[in-house]
Chains A and B, each alone.
Chain A
Amino acid sequence: EAGVVQSPRYKIIEKKQPVAFWCNPISGHNTLYWYLQNLGQGPELLIRYENEEAVDDSQLPKDRFSAERLKGVDSTLKIQPAELGDSAVYLCASSSGQGRQETQYFGPGTRLLVL
């Protein structure tokens, strides 16, 4: 069974440019998460989707970040405009959405460098 798929794996852009990341979760997983991981830190949740509904976006900087999961399957995270401090790894994870104590499975991440 395929794991969580993310693309691109790497992205280099200049500041003030837009950027988008794509994630396809494990088949059948209803819950999808976007995390941000800075160097030397653990992942931090940006947004959580239950099917197509964003149920927790309290940590998403909404002035420049947006996300969507229109059909409840794959998802896109966008930054516009990007800032130097956005350089980090953006991780997508998914879980089955079947119970209270669920394991989240992560994709390989997109490494963003803003110059």
Chain B
Amino acid sequence: DQQVKQNSPSLSVQEGRISILNCDYTNSMFDYFLWYKKYPAEGPTFLISISSIKDKNEDGRFTVFLNKSAKHLSLHIVPSQPGDSAVYFCAASAPNTGKLIFGQGTTLQVKP
């Protein structure tokens, strides 16, 4: 049973436009959510996170939105740049476990 799902395997966006990556989860006990970016042959790199007590967190071009009632979070990248092309993973953490549950990833391609 996939507790964290990224239903879009890939996304293609024009440079300068907005990229929106989506993630759904099933466990209402998750209280911390993270986005990681992964380039080929590298490990996942932490991008941005959000606690379940918030509904938005912003860091430069990256904003994460959390909708707890819908069990949905999204990552917005504005403006998108070619260097943002990578695989993006969302992850969720349950309280007191330290365990991250990852989605399957979405491959973002930003075209010049």
Q: Chain A interface (Cβ within 8 Å of chain B)?
A: 4, 6, 31, 33, 40-45, 48, 55-56, 91, 93, 95, 100-109, 111
Contacts and interface: CB of A to CB of B under 8 A. Distances in A.
Interface of B: 4, 31-32, 34, 36, 41-46, 49, 51, 89, 91, 93, 95-100, 102-105
A104 B89 CA distance: 13
18 contacts: A40-B104, A41-B102, A42-B102, A43-B100, A44-B102, A45-B100, A48-B98, A55-B98, A56-B99, A91-B43, A95-B98, A100-B32, A104-B34, A106-B44, A107-B43, A108-B43, A109-B42, A111-B41
A56 B97 contact: yes
B44 to A, nearest CB: 5
Contact of B95 (A56, A93, A100, A106): A100
Contacts of B95: 100
Contacts of A104: 34, 46, 100
Nearest to B97: A56
A108 B41 CA distance: 7
Nearest to A104: B100
